């Protein structure tokens, strides 16, 4: 009975929340978008047997590569799904340096960021990785167009899949299943990457006693695996003990067809895998503990090492790329649950010093020494306007002058390495069509020469050795080490000039560096990522470190004859050093890689059911795709693509804002039509609603495909036309319905968001202008009625340190907003309003706590227009609407997150922390008048943060209590308000 009750409560909660916002682990809200590509891009389209692909005109060859990979793998990824996968458009976004893809179902599409990852990765092409992983998601989502959801699809359109995915499978189920697919049908995949399960391994082997919900929902105090690694771990356990390789498809079919059974989630797990997911978790911990215990025992002891930092780091913390420099200082990149990404220095006593931040949009390569006092790196810099466009530039830091120099600009350069004489820099360049080039720069960042890499591979890192450049390159055959002479590059050599040093194979080969006369690199050759050496003369490989979980970011320092690197345990990545004399030099063979027992076991199962296309069929498929015609993709004709609808009215934007002022504006009887283009730049909502006798029409349109974005809204007959009047008593603005005329409310907004986050801070400039019209009338003190129109304009600038996982607010930051408004009524009177808002953030007592200070000022010009324009400033919390004339307000907020121990009073509630935000507000109206009005309030918000009813979305729910001085009654009163936030 308890199971049915819990499932019923969850169903009610899911419908309440998800029917509007449709959050999906794979397909997000119906207006979900990655951002905008540059407006100058012209688009084309190709259609194959099962897919269509939309891409910039210049990406024709790359588009056909993606079509080939998706078509080639379609039969593999559909294994066990028990249905025919939906035909879903692919959309290529080549202007971003980030590497990702997302399956979205409203409208259904696969958004693909085509630039391959510049670090890490595994021995397979980026196009094949994405085709295997993302196409599996398409199969998963297709289940929610069958069974009961086939009916919902008729009723709600494509958004109906969101209800199914939001209610039944969790993120770990979907992502873990997709990781299994990419691993089972290749010799690589994340299931064969020891770093992928490294966090789970360290947690289990170091004795952490964690619950299923703790790993599933996460924690603000302890490490929790992401949904990818947790999902692979749980699916592996369920498949291993049930011996049922096809159970994911069987479960999703049961969830789609047996919706009437409120206990179907656990019942289907028992039916097809013999246990619930929660019990599989416990079995998995025991299974992998036994497997890893034996493996660790066989590995022997770790080589000696010395920790560089004495910082206690009570929260999960990651150090990256420790670089020894002069004066006994080591520089490194640090980030973690309580630290945003930043460059730090560590002195010889282990004391850390903050050097500079990195913006949340920055992705930084390995640090590489360029002189005794300088080091360089590559850093992704966002475009001023376009979210899906950026650059990756080379930067250099001088430890003496404390200055950063940009060696390049407007480039797509990654992973720099210095020649031994310091004259040249080798960088990796990823072109728009995803080809890799090795580029040679001089010390000023000027391009001197470039060469393509062999076999259309992906170039990762490089290292110089005696006039040669060695490079780790991923080809269709795996990860190999190649070399080329610098003189050949300068002479314009082709990719044929490359020599193979280590033939392509399935194990990683990355983070190259010098090690005396040899080269060092990272590889997981023996099942754990360790540092290895390669002799350029004898071509022999040898192992240098022996870690239980993994070591990373190696840098050899010849002056101290020490190896600097990071060592992993359950608390994160720690900067350490080892004397070169204490390192191993155990011979190793690239031809004898570690056998990943579970990954090989499931691959054998998978290949017993389905086989990949033969070489002949692949050739025929590639030839047929090469002959497919392309056609122009019109942005205008595709701007209004209907993807969803509903037999009721729901205002998506108001629901997302969680405004409770007028509930009928959130949802009401009626109808809704949702439209969005495939490029994610145009979104339209058209609706009809009925409430309290009003037959209302609604329109909301946004377009972000131009340099200034556009937003249009209109509501007709949402209420009666009103006459607003001003009462002098208490400065209260009152409204009275006096007409039977339909109200008309319209607004047009143009805004320009500029991203200025280039210096390590999150900063931006947003300017906007908005025209508002209403046929309401305003009666001021002279009893003359005026129509309600106004023009608003403003600009806002902000500069903040990136916010960490555990912060309630940024530790440092400042913002300023200037706004104005002009009102016109019957062209006989005009009013003006000016508004200024200054706010800033300061550190609190602990890293998690913070202070927000804010100051607002508003003035309305012209006595007859007072109250005609809506307030821009806010009244102290607890007060209701007041007409603010010459007004100033000071506010102080202090954020205090309190960790609750990931407490579960019942299985339906998972409490992570309590967020207390005490505040104080003080305001003065009629500032320059003897008739000043003083307003005071104080109080606190108290919000429980966690997961409720097993829903994956993290929710904050609580109350805000404000005690305020009520002016009309001349007494103190209390005000309580429900407060909710959620994150998807």
Strand partners, 958: 943, 979
3-state helix vs strand vs coil in the chain, percent to 5 = 25, 45, 35
Judge residue 604's burial from the number of C-beta atoms within 10 Å of its C-beta, 0-12 exposed, 13-18 middle, 19 or more buried. Answer: exposed
Q: What does DSSP say about strands 108-113 and 90-93: parallel, antiparallel, or unpaired?
A: parallel
The token duo for 237 is 């356990």
d(CA 427, CA 437): 8
d(CA 689, CA 697): 7
Whose CA is closest to 7, among 946, 984, 950? 950
d(CA 719, CA 705): 33
| Regions of the chain where pLDDT drops below 50 | 1-30, 658-664, 729-734, 826-828
**CA distances for 726 relative to 228, 343, 722, 786, 823, angstroms:** 59, 57, 13, 13, 17
pLDDT for residue 33: 85
Contact 400, 420 (CB under 8 A): no
- The DSSP H or E segment spanning 164 is helix 160-167
d(CA 217, CA 210): 12
All domains of the chain in start order, with CATH: 2-11+26-298+601-629 (1.10.390), 514-592 (no CATH), 638-644+652-707 (no CATH), 720-741+749-873 (no CATH)
CA 447 to chain CA centroid, Å, is 33
Contact 380, 97 (CB under 8 A): yes
Sequence-ordered strand ranges (E) for 862-970: 886-906, 909-925, 933-948, 954-966
d(CA 78, CA 610): 10
Region label for 539, one of left (φ > 0), alpha (ψ between -120 and 50) or beta (otherwise): left
At a CB cut-off of 8 Å and minimum separation 6, what does 264 contact?
168, 254, 255, 258
346 φ, ψ (degrees, to nearest 5): -125, 125
Whose CA is closest to 103, among 52, 140, 50, 152? 140
pLDDT for residue 658: 46
Sequence-ordered strand ranges (E) for 186-279: none
The token duo for 480 is 């190999």
Contact 208, 570 (CB under 8 A): yes
Residues recorded for the chain: 984
Judge residue 491's burial from the number of C-beta atoms within 10 Å of its C-beta, 0-12 exposed, 13-18 middle, 19 or more buried. Answer: exposed
Residue whose tokens read 């377009």: 703
Contact 218, 224 (CB under 8 A): yes
Whose CA is closest to 331, among 363, 362, 371, 374? 374
pLDDT for residue 984: 55
**CA distances for 399 relative to 331, 425, 554, 760, 954, angstroms:** 9, 20, 20, 17, 42
How many helices (H) and strands (E) would you count in the chain? 16, 47
The token duo for 598 is 């579970």
3-class secondary-structure state, position 295: helix
d(CA 93, CA 266): 40
3-class secondary-structure state, position 157: strand
d(CA 134, CA 549): 29
Whose CA is closest to 76, among 607, 477, 625, 624? 607
Whose CA is closest to 374, among 333, 411, 422? 422
Contact 637, 675 (CB under 8 A): no
d(CA 273, CA 286): 17
The token duo for 934 is 């003083």
Whose CA is closest to 605, among 616, 594, 597, 613? 597
Whose CA is closest to 390, among 365, 413, 417, 356? 413
The token duo for 387 is 């979210």
The token duo for 546 is 């022996």
The tens digit of pLDDT for each residue in 110-161 reads 999 999 999 888 899 999 999 999 999 999 999 999 999 999 999 999 999 8
Q: Is the dihedral of CA 217, 220, 221, 227 positive or negative?
A: positive
The torsion defined by the Cα of 7, 8, 12 and 13, in degrees rounded to 10, comes to: -30
d(CA 42, CA 59): 11
């Amino acid at each position: 009975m308890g199971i049915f009750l819990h499932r019923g409560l969850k169903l009610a909660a899911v419908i309440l929340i998800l029917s509007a916002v449709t959050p999906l682990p794979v397909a997000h809200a119906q207006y979900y978008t990655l951002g905008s590509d540059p407006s100058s891009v012209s688009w084309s389209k190709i259609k194959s047997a099962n897919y269509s692909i939309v891409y910039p005109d210049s990406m024709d060859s790359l588009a056909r590569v993606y079509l080939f990979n998706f078509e080639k793998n379609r039969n593999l990824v559909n294994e066990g799904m028990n249905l025919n996968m939906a035909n879903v458009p692919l959309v290529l976004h080549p202007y971003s340096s980030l590497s990702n893809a997302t399956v979205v179902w409203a409208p259904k599409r696969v958004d693909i960021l085509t630039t391959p990852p510049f670090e890490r990765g595994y021995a397979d092409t980026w196009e094949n990785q994405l085709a295997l992983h993302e196409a599996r998601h398409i199969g998963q989502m297709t289940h929610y167009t069958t069974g009961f959801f086939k009916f919902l699809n008729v009723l709600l359109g494509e958004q109906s899949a969101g209800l199914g995915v939001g209610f039944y499978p969790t993120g770990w189920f979907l992502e873990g299943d997709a990781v299994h697919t990419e691993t089972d049908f290749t010799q690589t995949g994340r299931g064969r990457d020891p770093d992928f399960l490294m966090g789970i391994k360290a947690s289990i082997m170091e004795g952490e006693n964690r619950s299923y919900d703790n790993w599933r929902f996460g924690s603000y105090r302890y490490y929790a695996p992401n949904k990818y690694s947790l999902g692979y771990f749980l699916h592996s356990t369920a498949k291993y003990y049930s011996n049922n390789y096809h159970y994911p498809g069987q479960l999703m079919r049961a969830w789609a067809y047996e919706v009437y059974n409120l206990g179907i989630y656990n019942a289907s797990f028992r039916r097809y895998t013999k246990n619930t997911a929660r019990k599989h978790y416990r079995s998995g911990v025991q299974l992998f503990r036994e497997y890893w215990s034996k493996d660790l025992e066989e590995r022997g002891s770790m080589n000696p090492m010395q920790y560089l930092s004495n910082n206690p780091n009570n929260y999960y913390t990651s150090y990256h790329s420790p670089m020894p420099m002069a004066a006994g200082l080591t520089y490194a990149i640090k980030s973690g649950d309580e630290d945003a990404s930043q460059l730090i220095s560590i002195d010889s006593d282990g004391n850390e010093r903050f050097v500079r931040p990195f913006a949340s949009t920055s992705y930084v390569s390995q640090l590489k020494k360029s002189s005794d006092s300088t080091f360089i790196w590559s850093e992704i810099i966002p475009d001023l306007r376009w979210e899906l466009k950026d650059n990756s530039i080379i930067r250099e830091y001088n430890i003496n002058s404390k200055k950063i120099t940009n060696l390049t600009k407007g480039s797509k350069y990654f992973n720099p390495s210095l020649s031994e004489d310091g004259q040249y820099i080798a960088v990796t360049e990823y072109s728009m069509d995803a080809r890799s080039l090795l580029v040679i720069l001089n010390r000023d960042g000027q391009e001197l020469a470039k060469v393509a890499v062999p076999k259309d591979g992906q170039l990762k890192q490089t290292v110089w050795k005696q006039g040669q450049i060695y490079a780790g390159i991923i080809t269709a055959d795996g990860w190999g080490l190649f070399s080329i002479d610098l003189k050949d590059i300068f002479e314009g050599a082709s990719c044929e000039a490359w020599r193979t040093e280590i033939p392509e194979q399935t194990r990683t080969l990355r983070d190259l560096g010098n090690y005396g006369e040899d080269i060092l690199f990272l590889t997981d050759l023996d099942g754990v990522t360790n540092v290895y050496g390669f002799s350029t003369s004898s071509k022999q490989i040898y192992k240098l470190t022996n870690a239980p979980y993994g070591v990373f970011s190696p840098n050899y320092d010849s002056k101290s004859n020490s190896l600097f690197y990071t060592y992993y345990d359950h608390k994160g990545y720690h900067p350490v050093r080892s004397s070169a004399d204490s390192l191993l030099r155990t011979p190793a063979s690239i031809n004898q890689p570690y056998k990943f027992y579970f990954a090989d076991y499931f691959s054998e199962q998978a290949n017993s059911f389905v086989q990949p296309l033969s070489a002949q069929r692949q050739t025929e498929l590639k030839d047929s795709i090469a002959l497919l015609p392309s056609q122009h993709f019109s942005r205008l004709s595709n701007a209004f693509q209907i993807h969803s609808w509903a037999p009721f009215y729901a205002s998506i934007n108001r629901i997302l804002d969680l405004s409770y002022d007028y509930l009928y504006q959130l949802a009401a009887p009626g109808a809704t039509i949702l439209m969005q283009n495939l490029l994610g730049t145009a979104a339209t909502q058209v609706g009809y609603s009925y409430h309290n006798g009003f037959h209302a029409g609604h329109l909301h349109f946004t377009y972000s495909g131009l340099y200034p974005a556009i937003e249009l809204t209109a509501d007709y007959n949402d209420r009666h036309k009103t006459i607003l009047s001003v009462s002098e008593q208490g400065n209260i603005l009152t409204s009275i319905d006096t007409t039977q005329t339909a109200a008309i409310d319209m607004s047009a907004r143009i805004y320009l968001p500029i991203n200025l986050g280039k210096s390590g801070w999150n900063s931006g400039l947003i300017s906007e202008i908005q025209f508002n019209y209403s046929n309401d009338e305003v009666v001021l003190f002279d009893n003359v009625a005026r129509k309600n129109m106004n023009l608003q304009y403003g600009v806002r600038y902000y500069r903040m340190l990136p916010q960490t996982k555990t912060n309630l607010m940024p530790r440092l930051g400042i913002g300023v907003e200037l706004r104005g408004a002009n009102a016109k009524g019957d062209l006989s009177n005009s009013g003006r309003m000016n508004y200024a808002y200054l706010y800033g953030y300061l550190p609190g007592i602990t890293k998690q706590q913070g202070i927000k200070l804010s100051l607002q000022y508003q003035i309305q010009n012209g006595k007859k227009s007072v109250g005609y324009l809506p307030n821009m400033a806010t009244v102290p919390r607890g007060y209701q609407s007041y007409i603010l004339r010459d007004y100033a307000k000071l506010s102080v907020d202090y954020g205090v997150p309190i960790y609750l121990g990931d407490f579960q009073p019942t299985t339906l509630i998972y409490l992570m922390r309590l967020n207390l935000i005490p505040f104080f507000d003080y305001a003065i109206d009629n500032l320059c008048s003897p008739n000043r009005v003083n307003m005071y309030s104080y109080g606190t918000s108290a919000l429980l943060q966690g997961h409720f009813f097993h829903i994956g979305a993290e929710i904050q729910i609580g109350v805000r209590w404000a005690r305020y001085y009520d002016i009309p009654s001349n007494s103190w009163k209390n005000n309580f308000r429900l407060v909710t936030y959620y994150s998807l």
